[in-house]
Amino acid sequence: METYSFLRELADSWVLLALCIFYIGAIAWAFRPGSRAVHDEIANIPLKDDSESADFQDDRTNGAPSRTTGAGSEESA
C-alpha cells in the first residue's frame, strides 16, 4: 500500500472520528453545568469599571510621574 493511500484512509476514518469526538467534547465542556458563573463573569467584563485607569488617575493626583512620558524626553538632574 502506498503512503498516500494509507494516510488518506487513516484521515477518512480514524482521524475524522477523533475530530468528531473532540468537537463533541469541546461543546460538552462549554455547556457543562458548572460553567455558567464563569461565562456570566466573562460576559460582564466590558461593563465593569476599569480599575487600572482608576489607579492611573490616583497616581496623577498623588504627584507620581506621568506614565505617558515621551521616549525622547529625559529628566535633567
Domain boundaries, given as residue ranges, for the chain: 17-45
Q: Does pTM surpass 0.75?
A: no
d(CA 5, CA 11): 10
5-63 pLDDT, tens digit per residue, is 999 998 899 999 999 999 999 999 999 988 898 999 999 999 888 766 566 566 666 66
Q: Does residue 1 register a pLDDT over 90?
A: no
Where residue 72 falls among pLDDT bands split at 50, 70, 90? low
Q: State residue 64's pLDDT score.
A: 62
Q: At a CB cut-off of 8 Å and minimum separation 6, what does 60 contact?
A: 66
d(CA 38, CA 44): 10
Q: State residue 23's pLDDT score.
A: 98
